[in-house]
């Protein structure tokens, strides 16, 4: 792993940790005594990638994801060097896993995957503890 990739992953982990703390507070009001699943995705555009094109495609991704069973909410953000992240809240881990499969088979999902550096992908599910 190059120094750039180590630095990128370290920066992403700090951004994601802060985002998770903020997101948990927002979801907690909805989920009160219920555990929810968090899907965390962080990527970097391919060299010469077009952030505007990714944002445009993300509108289709958001529509697809928000229509999946168990969807609660989704936040996205971008960084200065072509970084992109999404945090999605799901009613259950099973809902999150099923939606990930739908995403990977969809046209918006395939388009999104073609726009990002495959070596930069951070994708993980978490379950809140209440």
90 neighbors 99 (Cβ within 8 angstroms): yes
Max Cα-Cα span within the chain: 45
105 neighbors 50 (Cβ within 8 angstroms): no
- Tens of pLDDT, residues 61-108: 999 999 999 999 999 999 988 999 999 999 999 999 999 999 999 999
The verdict on pTM exceeding 0.85 is no
| Secondary structure class of 49 (helix, strand, coil) | coil
Domain boundaries, the chain: 3-127
CATH number assigned to the domain with residue range 3-127, chosen from the 4 options 3.30.70.1450, 3.30.70.100, 3.40.50.300, 2.30.30.60: 3.30.70.100
Q: How far is CA 102 from CA 3, 24, 56, 106, in A?
A: 34, 25, 19, 6
């Amino acid at each position: 792993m190059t120094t750039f990739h180590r630095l990128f992953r370290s920066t992403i982990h700090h951004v994601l940790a802060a985002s998770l703390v903020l997101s948990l507070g927002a979801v907690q009001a909805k989920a009160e005594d219920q555990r929810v699943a968090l899907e965390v995705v962080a990527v970097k555009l391919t060299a010469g990638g077009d952030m505007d094109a990714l944002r445009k495609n993300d509108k289709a991704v958001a529509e697809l994801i928000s229509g999946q069973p168990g969807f609660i909410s989704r936040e996205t953000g971008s960084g200065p060097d072509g970084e992109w992240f999404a945090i999605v809240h799901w009613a259950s881990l099973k809902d999150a896993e099923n939606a990930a499969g739908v995403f990977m088979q969809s046209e918006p999902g395939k388009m999104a995957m073609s726009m990002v550096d495959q070596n930069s992908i951070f994708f993980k599910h978490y379950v809140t503890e209440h």
